[in-house]
Structure 1
Amino acid sequence: AGTAAALAPADAVVLAAEDPLAALQRLATAWRRALGAQVIAITGSTGKTSTKDVLAAMLAPHRRTVATRQNLNTEIGLPLTVLSAPPGTEVLVLELAMRGAGQIAELTTISEPDVGLITNVGPVHVELLGSVEGVAAAKAELIAGLHAGATMIVPAGEPLLAPHLRADLRTVPVGPGGELTEADLDGLELPFDSAHMRQNAVAALAAARAIGVEPSGRIEVALSAMRGQQRQMPGDITVVEDCYNANPMSMRAALDDLQRSAPGRKVAVLGDMLELGPDAAAHHAAIGEHARAAGVDVLVAVGPLSAGLAADHTVADAEAAAALLPGLLSPGDTVLVKASRGIGLERVVEALA
């Protein structure tokens, strides 16, 4: 307390606590209740941030909305997001991240959501959770933590979540065969047309409707950094900068988008997917096969795990990839850059700027 007081301005209030983290979390819950805002909590193996960005854009013209910024989605970041909401905030859109069991439950307890949304379940953090069933159980802590009568949005037909659904919640399945599908996006003008982003938009639309908002017209989405933005580089090179995170599901989706949208040669710079557990080698080999099936013309693998991609070029790290790539490119190429965050592939993008 003495150190905190010494660092604070003379007119500041200093709150001393034996457990500062627990105090921060309790303050966030108290402010969430004082605001009286509706809270939408989003988790999932992939697409959390993009879905949050789309939902915030859908809500902004209708409600005073505060959404998670950057990566403030942990046991520290989420309370800071809640506490950043000014008086008069009507909706909080919160991203819930996790790396192990119990963490989603903790974030749900802090935020007391009115609407829960799980984007999907896949082999992410398997190294920590043991199996994809363990991943599903960890994500489903959001379902368990909702109050009776709340709305829960889930991917339609996901068997891994079925054992966790509750009869006292309003469950809304979305996607093919669900209550909401891509057809419900008709009439909305979205700044993207990739399949996985449109699926994220369907889930976001379900969440908006759950709190009585009907989006319409053009949706002005500002996607968070390194989540699939296209950047035009010198030499008529298009870069898809998607190097914030990666797992088998998101890798396949990104490669499918590259196949569909690239007008010229397709170049993929793919780095290691981390925390995949004992099946990591098989997952990387499968991504290499998927890249070839997607018509990738030049495949560059970055990192020891990615050596299993059977790529045209294999390098040890991001620095080596940044040095190699400019010499491989021609005008009109589209370059996908994707890996887990720890690989640091943004350095490859910077080398092309």
Structure 2
Amino acid sequence: MKKQLRTIADWLNVETQGLREVEVSGVSINTRTLQPGDLFIPFRGEKVNGHDYVMTALENGAAASLWQADEPNPPKDVPLLFVTDPELALQEMARKYREELDTVFIGITGSNGKTSTKDLVAGVLSPYFKVQKTEGNFNNQLGLPLTILSLDEETEYAVLEMGMSGFGEIEFLTKMAKPKYAVITNIGEAHMQDLGSREGIAKAKFEIVQGLLPEGMLFYDGDEPLLVPHAATLSGDRKTAFGYGEENALSVQGIRSTERGSEFTVSGLLNESFTIPVLGSHQVKNSLAAILIGMAAGLNAEQIRYSLQSVKLTDMRMQVQTANNDAIFINDAYNAAPASMKAALSFLKETEMREEKWAVLGDMLELGDLERQFHEEVADDLTPEVIKGVCLYGPRMEWLYEKLKGKFDPECLIWSKDEYDPLIEWLSVRLNSKSVVLLKGSRGMALENILKAFV
């Protein structure tokens, strides 16, 4: 964003102090990452009050700062915009800037796979267009407007991740972004404690169509029955289903995993073969959304094939890493829910990368009253005939440990409530060049701390 300070003041229709003719070249909520020319936005938190850092921001080159009107003692003789609520002001700036952009916005939501799908979509488009995407997990009511305001005016496609924990949140985000294309990757069990059921999750995710442009298109997981009644509310030319089932407009078959990634064939709207440098059939399914958006952007099969071959996903999404003892780790430890846990374990069972297969699993969080059941059900996907050993971390994984004690030899099963070291020691004497190890757990479990001991 490059706007005159006076223009931003007019957007917000607020009182000002000390404004000068200066161009604002971005926004910042953190003085440590602030760049000269940024507009600083202070928030009042329980422990930190951003207003205490306004002068630091200005000394570091900020063009101006917002100031909450009921915050006492604003500094004199510096450029300030007085607002009722800095968060609401940030969101209003994003809406105003969005209206001025010719950028095609793409919104992506789903219980699992949002970030991977964002990376795949951006990767397909990037060789041919100027593309920007959500960085990190800036996918909420603060992160999304910050992402919009970070867009260059020349950006042709903006790929935005949209997260939520309750009803109304996706609707709020999509009405701010007004996407031309929207994607729902799947419906899982994350946030069950807030939404009550998978039906509630489906309803919350489908809010993404509330901001869809009139000429917009929804791409959604056609294998998910809970999305069918919601999709029925859209006309046929505004929705496209993708998935494993042949009834989908774009379906996938013949998935083959190699140490280089996944090879697969699609049929329906397009009949072609593709390769992605990512493991897992669930990642192949995510790539279907990227293929469909590539087609909508006017790319042909050869162009999409070329870009998919070199796409790069954010770390800890089925990321292959070779250990110092030549074991292979599949680092899928960014997050976990029952559906993504099952998908990752399905890959581990099916892969032929190595003959000895090990599972290192951490707690799945935010599952509500059914969390014990969901952890115990993971036992159905773990059998000693296929999995050499199981390593469990976290208090909730004790439930799974108790279920597995009768299935696995004691030498092939270990659980630790809150310490990594016993698990690292246990693995270090068992892993070798014949081993492939899956790491899968919720972000709060930080399973990468186990991996660090081996690479």
User: What TM-score comes out, normalization by structure 1 length?
Assistant: 0.94
Whose strand fraction is larger, Structure 1's or Structure 2's?
2
| CA apart distance, 1:332 | 2.0
Per the TM alignment, residue 5 of structure 1 is displaced from its structure 2 partner at its CA by: 4.6
Larger RCO of the pair (alpha carbons < 8 Å, separation 6+): 1
Find the residue that maps to 1:66 and give its secondary structure: strand
- Which range moves more in the overlay, 52-61 or 156-165? 156-165
Pair 1:48-2:114 in alignment: yes
Who is 2:440 aligned against?
A: 338
Shift of 1:138: 0.9
CA contact (8 A) 1:28 1:83 kept: yes
Which AA in structure 1 matches 2:373? A
Aligned match for 2:147, one of 75, 81, 85 = 81
Match of 2:63 among 5, 12, 32: 12
Instruction: Quote how far apart the aligned CAs of 1:29 are.
Output: 2.0
When residues 19 and 197 of structure 1 are mapped into structure 2, their CA distance, relative to the original with a 3 A threshold, is: same
Amino acid corresponding to residue 167 of structure 1 in structure 2: L
Residue of 159, 165, 172 corresponding to 1:93: 159
Please tell me whether residue 127 in structure 1 is matched to residue 193 in structure 2. Answer: yes
Larger radius of gyration between Structure 1 and Structure 2: 2
1:16-51: CA deviation from partner (whole Å, max 9, x where unpaired): 322111111121222222221000100001111111
> Is the partner of 1:160 in helix, strand or coil?
helix
Q: Compare 300-309 and 46-55 and name the one that shifted more.
A: 300-309
Give the corresponding residue for 2:387.
296
By how many angstroms is 1:326 displaced? 1.7
User: Which of 166, 171, 190 is 2:239 aligned to?
Assistant: 171
The 3 A distance-change label for structure 1 pair 333 and 293 is closer
Q: 1:318 and 1:32, CA in 2 relative to 1: closer, same or farther beyond 3 A?
A: farther
For 1:288 and 1:11, the matched residues in 2 are separated by 54
Instruction: Please say if 1:348 is aligned against 2:439.
Output: no
Moved more, 136-145 or 316-325: 316-325
Alignment of 1:310-321 (within 5 A): 310=401, 311=404, 312-320=413-421, 321=423
Q: Deviations over 1:219-267 (max 9, x none)?
A: 2211101111010110111111111100111111111111222322101
1:114: Cα distance to partner? 0.9
* 1:58 Cα deviation from its structure 2 partner: 0.3
Matched, 1:235 2:325: yes
Contact 2:278 2:319 in 1 (8 A): no
- Residues 318 and 345 in structure 1, CA contact (< 8 A), matched pair in contact too: no
Cα RMSD of the aligned pairs, angstroms, is 2.0
State whether structure 2 residue 369 is matched by structure 1 residue 278: yes
Q: Which runs of 5+ in 1 are unaligned?
A: none
Higher fraction of helix: 1
Q: 1:266 aligns to what?
A: 357
Structure 1 partner of 2:306:
217
The 1:66/1:294 distance shift into structure 2, 3 A limit, reads: farther
What is the distance in 2 between the residues matched to 1:245 and 1:352?
21
Question: How many equivalent pairs are there?
Answer: 353
Deviation larger for 203-212 or 107-116: 203-212
Matched-pair contact (CA < 8 Å) for 2:168–2:207: yes
**Alignment check: 8 A CA contact 1:259 1:295 kept:** yes
SS at match of 1:352: coil
Structure 1 segments (4+ residues) deviating >4 Å: 1-5
Residue pair 1:247, 1:340 contacting (<8 A) in 2 also: yes
SS of the residue 1:88 aligns to: coil
1:39–1:318 distance in 2 versus 1, CA, 3 Å: farther
Unaligned runs of 5+ in 2: 1-41, 43-50, 67-80, 253-265, 405-412
Q: Measure the CA separation in 2 of the matches of 1:22 and 1:11.
A: 20
Question: Which deviates more from structure 2 when the two are superposed, residues 111-120 or residues 157-166?
Answer: 157-166
**Aligned partners of 1:218 and 1:90: how far apart in 2?**
17
Contact 2:360 2:440 survives alignment (8 Å): yes
* Secondary structure of 1:51 counterpart: helix
